[in-house]
Amino acid sequence: MRLFVKNKFFSFGGSSFVLDENQNKIFKVKGKIFSPTRKKKIYDMEGDLKYIVRNKFWKLFKTSTLIYDSDHDLIAKLSNSDWDFKNKFVLEGDTDDITISGNLIQFPNIKLQVTKNDKLIGTITKDFNLFRDSFSIDVNEMDDAAFLVALVISIDNIWDNRSRK
């Protein structure tokens, strides 16, 4: 199944919807207008909280985002060194072995493979767009879809943080 994450051109707090191939809303991403950690929550369309993504408040030479599940337990940490000009990400799973690989500096499109416990769970593609960030996610199993959306939000937060410097 393919999902699409497109940031709105203008949005207070970074709220948006995640759509499937038929343009049906699958998840809602809600952000806050004033949040020093750029905290965003991912909900299904029934209103159930799936994941929370936020930037680490204190940073020293690297930017990190934290992914929490609906019980507020840390699931993964995504980091990127401020001095790494290759845009290499380090993904640390708290309970599972989660890895992200692919060419992060291939312009205009970036394609990343995500594995969990040595099993490919999905592919994330960042599509070139002048006006807003646009990602597509190929999900192997729907159970992993919300986590992959949280990972996309994490990647986007890190890129946005680096572009503000």
At 22, the amino acid letter reads: N
Q: Which residues pair with 93 in a beta bridge?
A: 76
Write the DSSP string, 37-73.
Answer: T--EEEEETTS-EEEEEEE-SS-SSEEEEEEEETTS-
* Cα(136)–Cα(139) distance, integer angstroms: 10
Q: What is the pLDDT of residues 143-155, one digit of tens each?
A: 999 999 999 888 8
Which range, of 12-16, 54-58, 74-78, 81-85, averages the lowest pLDDT? Answer: 81-85
If phi > 0 it is left, if psi is from -120 to 50 it is alpha, else beta; for residue 164 that is alpha
Instruction: Identify the CA nearest to 145 among candidates 122, 126, 117.
Output: 122
Full-model pTM: 0.83
Contact present, 97 and 117 (Cβ < 8 Å): yes
Domains and CATH numbers, the chain: 2-163 (2.40.160.200)
